[in-house]
Amino acid sequence: MASRSHRLRQDDKRYVWHPFTQMADWLHERHPIIERGEGSVLIDVDGRRYLDGVSSLWVTVHGHRKQAIDRAIRAQLGKVAHTSFLGLSHPLAIELAKALVRITPDGLAKVFYSDNGSTAVEIALKMAFQYWQQRGGAFARKTRFIALEEAYHGDTVGAVSVGGIDLFHQLYRPLLFPIRRIPSPYRAPWNRRRRLDALARLESMLSRHHDQVAGLVMEPLIQGAAGMLPAPSGFLKAVRSLCSQYNVLLILDEVATGFGRTGTMFACEQEGVAPDLLCLAKGLTGGYLPLAATLTTQQIFDGFCAPYGEKKAFFHGHSYTANPLACAAALASLQCFRREQTLKRLQPKIALLRRELESLRLLAHVGDIRQVGFMVGIELMEDPKRGKAYPYEAKMGIRTILEARRRGLIIRPLGNVIVLMPPLSISSKDLIRMVRIVGDAIRVATE
Ligand SMILES: *Cc1c(COP(=O)(O)O)cnc(C)c1O
């Protein structure tokens, strides 16, 4: 067994390039090679067990090896693994579209499939742009997008254009389309004043330039990759009303927040907001297979319906659009939500998590703890009292997660922010264990 794991590790270093990874470091580090999963636990080739504290990067919902989802995929596999969605359809994609329209906010009426969060956003941007082009007249001048500072919408070039995280995005600026940006009001300490500043900037931008703006894209309630930054309450609702007032399409990126992660099925429900376009991915299949959806309104859909010769179709699609195995997983996941009352059973766990996190506030280098539902960011700082951050080179986030890993917990940092995002199905016992390990890891890494 040991030799097998050694061989795998060598071949990984020889042949593989990992995402968001400084490979020069990777080549002389030792990383778990995960072979199996059970519920909230991941098991590596050496038989070591780890709690999955970030839901395998924000995707796992009901845990690993969820029987109902395993079974649904196997049943579909007995029929066909993949057929095209171009010129053809299939039962599960139809059923899933109907289910998504039913559970998402009113007004969203059509589902366009793709296979990851970045493409779900690309599609929303292209749809919004093309919609105004096809409305014609003065509307054809609506070609620009508004996005927030610190935003993250994915890694393909269109999604990077609306992104606002310098570390990931700055280098590519020459390749990107120009956008208008409003300050993120999400940064702690957030308060009424910050919210009003961001809204005032947005209102002044819209009052001057709305005739050139196709849409505004944002992550509702919490900016994830920015470091888990919660929005001031009421911000989303105010943005919705400005977008409506100035005839600008609101695109909500719920790739991270969707499917229960914030405590409700979708984050926008918490402020009673319905977007014009909604982007879903990550948790859509319960974390099993790549599938994404961009939902939109009848009005936008109608803007693409015209005589064939007018060439107003949405000329976009992917080889694996609406993959049947992925649709089977998604439908089974939604069924689990209903049958097991996942959201109802999540509420006491959110409260428990909040109480457990309180204990970490006593640690000397914990600067801030931010939580929206099951999305948590713990910001480590060199000197919280003076607001002094750790330098990037200190790799404090990485050092902490390596200590956590030694103690049987897998997590991923965002810079100096420790992210916790366990599967919604995690037990109270494991939730408590997770926070205890994080506390120990922070203590050892920062001492
Ligand atoms: C992860 C994420 C994306 C990108 O999704 P991928 O499936 O990784 O391409 C887009 N938007 C948000 C808010 C995300 O968290």
From the list 292, 220, 256, 231, the residue with the least C-alpha distance to 54 is 256
Give the DSSP H or E segment for 412.
Answer: strand 412-414
Q: Taking 80 as the threshold, does the pLDDT of residue 279 lie above it?
A: yes
Do residues 329 and 291 lie in contact, with contact meaning Cβ atoms separated by under 8 Å? yes
- Which atom of ligand 1 lies closest to the CA of 282? 7
pLDDT tens for each residue of 286-339: 999 999 999 999 999 999 999 999 999 999 999 999 999 999 999 999 999 999
Query: Ligand 1: distance of its center to the CA of 217 in Å?
Result: 13
For residue 170, what pLDDT is reported?
84
Residue 377, helix vs strand vs coil: strand
Token digits of residue 129: 């742009």
Token digits of residue 187: 């940064």
Query: Ligand 1: distance of its center to the CA of 241 in Å?
Result: 25
Q: pLDDT band for position 9 (50/70/90)?
A: very high
What is the biggest distance separating any 2 CA atoms in the chain, rounded to whole angstroms? 69
Say whether 318 counts as a known binding-site residue: yes
Ligand 1 pocket test: pick from 217, 282, 285 the residue with the most ligand atoms within 8 Å of its Cβ: 282
The alpha helices in 287-341, defined as continuous H runs, are 298-302, 324-339
For residue 194, what pLDDT is reported?
67
- Which atom of ligand 1 lies closest to the CA of 224? 15
Say whether 436 counts as a known binding-site residue: no
pLDDT tens for each residue of 123-162: 999 999 999 999 999 999 999 999 999 999 999 999 999 9
Ligand 1 pocket test: pick from 115, 153, 320, 372 the residue with the most ligand atoms within 8 Å of its Cβ: 153
Say whether 368 counts as a known binding-site residue: no
Q: Taking 90 as the threshold, does the pLDDT of residue 14 lie above it?
A: yes
For residue 167, what pLDDT is reported?
84
Residue 219's identity, in one-letter code, is E
| Span between the terminal Cα atoms of the chain, in Å | 36
Over range 421-437, report the average pLDDT.
Answer: 98
Q: Taking 80 as the threshold, does the pLDDT of residue 192 lie above it?
A: no
- Which atom of ligand 1 lies closest to the CA of 154? 4
Query: Ligand 1: distance of its center to the CA of 307 in Å?
Result: 35
Query: Ligand 1: distance of its center to the CA of 153 in Å?
Result: 6
* Domains (range + CATH), the chain: 32-65+342-445 (3.90.1150.10), 70-340 (3.40.640.10)
pLDDT tens for each residue of 75-129: 999 999 999 999 999 999 999 999 999 999 999 999 999 999 999 999 999 999 9
Give the C-alpha separation, 211 to 276, whole Å. 17
Which residues, including other chains, have CB under 8 Å from residue 83's CB and lie 6 or more apart? 90, 324
Q: Taking 70 as the threshold, does the pLDDT of residue 193 lie above it?
A: no
For residue 209, what pLDDT is reported?
97
Burial of residue 215, with CB atoms counted within 10 A of its CB: 0-12 exposed, 13-18 middle, 19 or more buried: buried
* DSSP bridge pairs for 414: 417
Within 6 A (CB) of ligand 1 lie 116-118, 121, 152-154, 219, 224-225, 253, 255-256, 281-282
* DSSP bridge pairs for 252: 218, 278
Q: pLDDT band for position 190 (50/70/90)?
A: very low
Mean pLDDT over the full length of the chain: 95
For residue 184, what pLDDT is reported?
84
Q: Taking 50 as the threshold, does the pLDDT of residue 35 lie above it?
A: yes
Give the C-alpha separation, 185 to 166, whole Å. 17
Which residues, including other chains, have CB under 8 Å from residue 338's CB and lie 6 or more apart? none
Q: pLDDT band for position 373 (50/70/90)?
A: very high
Q: Whose CA is nearest to atom 5 of ligand 1?
A: 117
Give the DSSP H or E segment for 419.
Answer: strand 417-420
Token digits of residue 343: 């959201």
Burial of residue 151, with CB atoms counted within 10 A of its CB: 0-12 exposed, 13-18 middle, 19 or more buried: buried
Query: Ligand 1: distance of its center to the CA of 407 in Å?
Result: 28
pLDDT tens for each residue of 37-78: 999 999 999 999 999 999 999 999 999 999 999 999 999 999
Does pTM surpass 0.95? yes
Q: Taking 60 as the threshold, does the pLDDT of residue 189 lie above it?
A: no
Give the C-alpha separation, 270 to 262, whole Å. 9
Please list, residue by residue across 403-425, b when 16 or more beta carbons sit within 10 angstroms of its beta carbon and e when fewer do.
Answer: bbbeeebbbbbbbbbbbbbbbbb
From the list 276, 15, 308, 258, the residue with the least C-alpha distance to 127 is 276
- Calculate what percentage of the chain has a pLDDT beyond 90: 93
* DSSP bridge pairs for 229: 223
Query: Ligand 1: distance of its center to the CA of 157 in Å?
Result: 13
